[in-house]
Structure 1
């Protein structure tokens, strides 16, 4: 049976600030992120299975990524919890804003590493995460590949 890669794309709006950075991104700002999630596996061959012919149901993949990433990060502001931005984060949260305090500097690179771990933990055993592409702007993105990790 052939090994097939399946990709589903997602989009969400997220704000962040890069504490200690020497450019404009030290200021709170936002991006329209695009996330491409590619998994790899073999299509189901059991003709009695309702998912016959699929590697994974796109709907099942969507549920995982929405629950782990999109629903949490969409219209949230992400701060590194080890920076003075925690005071701003607390103020925003107290005013009803969705805030994420991450264990890392919220760069695209670190976010894609975080996303990979969260998605991998939820995939069925027979499905492997192949790659992620997190596009921050029209011309800038970070990629994660299982083969590199």
Structure 2
């Protein structure tokens, strides 16, 4: 049977700051992120299965990505936990703000790497993550492809 890729797109709003960066992005700012998740697999051929013809139910993929990424990152501010931004993060968290202290500099590139691990851990064994694209702006994005890794 043929391999098929399916893609589901997601949106979330998040803020971040890049500690030590030499440009404007060192300041706390936000983005309207667009996340595209593409998986690859063989459509179900067993006619007794309710998901006949599907690689994975779009609803199942949506549940995974929402639980692991969108519900956590949406309207949160992301800081590198190994930076002085932790003090600001703690103040914001104490005031009721949603804060993520990441093990990495919160660039789109590093966020993609983080998202790959979270999604791969939840996919059924017969479904492989093919690619992820995270758009920070309409003209700037980071991509990850399984074939490159």
TM-score in same-fold range (> 0.5) = yes
* 4+ residue runs over 6 A deviation: none
Q: What is the DSSP-based 3-state SS (H/G/I as helix, E as strand, rest coil) of the residue aligned with 1:109?
A: helix
Partner of 1:106: 106
Segments of 5+ residues of structure 1 without an aligned counterpart are none
Work out whether 1:3 is the aligned partner of 2:8. Answer: no
Question: C-alpha displacement at 1:91, in angstroms?
Answer: 0.4
Question: C-alpha displacement at 1:122, in angstroms?
Answer: 0.2
Partner of 1:87: 87
Segments of 5+ residues of structure 2 without an aligned counterpart are none
Calculate the TM-score normalised by the size of structure 1. Answer: 1.00
CA distance in 2, matches of 1:105, 1:49: 44
Deviations 1:92-142 (A, max 9, x none): 000000000000000000000000010000000000000000000010000
Pairwise mapping of residues 40-55 of structure 1 onto structure 2 (< 5 A)?
40-55=40-55
CA distance in 2, matches of 1:46, 1:98: 44
- When the two chains are superposed, the root-mean-square deviation of aligned CA atoms in Å is 0.3
Partner of 2:117: 117
